[in-house]
Structure formats: structure tokens, C-alpha cells
Amino acid sequence: MEPISTDDEGDQDAIAQLVAFGVDVTQTQNIEFHIAAPNSNSATRIQAALTTVGIHSSIYYDEGEPDSNGLIDVNDSEFGPSWTVTALIPIIPSLSELLRVQSDISEIAQPFGGYSDGWGMMCDPKQQK
């Protein structure tokens, strides 16, 4: 399985990648939407808010990557520790639908300091056309 993922600027390219992998983008697919959270409490509150509207999600903590000295900088926004809530949402992966869901997720996460941070889908390259 290979992940196909994107950020806000690459949604259309990612849809093209899905098509190249043989995914029928006219049919409902299980898409993972990632929500960045500033801390554990926010991640838990975002997950609860998603559950309230019927969206299943999981919380993931990444302890960060050590620098060349083997230290993890907790203030490094790119390589420091991070919290992510991942919501699995079945949708037809059209550009308009992907943008709508990302906007909806950001609206849900914003009161807790979170925001939509892209989406992805696992694809099996053996199923390519």
C-alpha cells in the first residue's frame, strides 16, 4: 500500500494520482482527513466534537525527530512533537467535496486550536489499471 496525500494546494494533483493508481473517483472512497492539534487536550476535544457529528477519528502523537545532536526541540513546528486527529470519512473524492470537508473540519477544530492539515488515502499499486 502506498499513501496518497496532499495539502490544500495539491488536491487536484492528488486526485489525478488516485486515478493513476486505478481508484474510481466517481465512487465513494474512505478518505483520511488529518487535523493538527496544538496539544493532547485539544486533540481530545477535537475528537469529541467530531464524534458528536458522527465522524469516527483517532488521535496520534508524534514525539518528533531528533536533531544532529540527538535532541528533540519541543518548539520546532516542523520536527518537534505534534498531535494529529485523523478522521476517516467516506466521500466521493471530487475537488469540491474534498475542499468542503476540509473546511467543515477546520470549522469544528478551530475552537480547540486545531485546523485541517490535508488528507490521504491508502492505495494498492497492484490494483493499477
**What is the reported pLDDT for 68?**
77
Confidence of residue 2 (pLDDT cuts 50, 70, 90): very low
Residue 74: pLDDT above 90? Answer: no
The residue extents of the domains of the chain are 2-66+77-127
**What is the reported pLDDT for 4?**
43
Query: What's the CATH superfamily of 2-66+77-127?
Result: RraB-like (3.30.70.970)
| Residue 87: its H or E element | strand 82-91
Q: What is the mean pLDDT of residues 55-74?
A: 82
Burial of residue 122 (CB within 10 Å: 0-12, 13-18, 19+) is exposed
d(CA 78, CA 96): 29
Whether the full predicted model's pTM is greater than 0.75, yes or no, is yes
Which of 1-10, 13-22, 52-61 is predicted least confidently?
A: 1-10
Confidence of residue 91 (pLDDT cuts 50, 70, 90): very high
As a whole number, the mean pLDDT across the chain is: 84
> In the numeric block, which cell numbers belong to residue 30?
474512505
**What is the reported pLDDT for 62?**
87
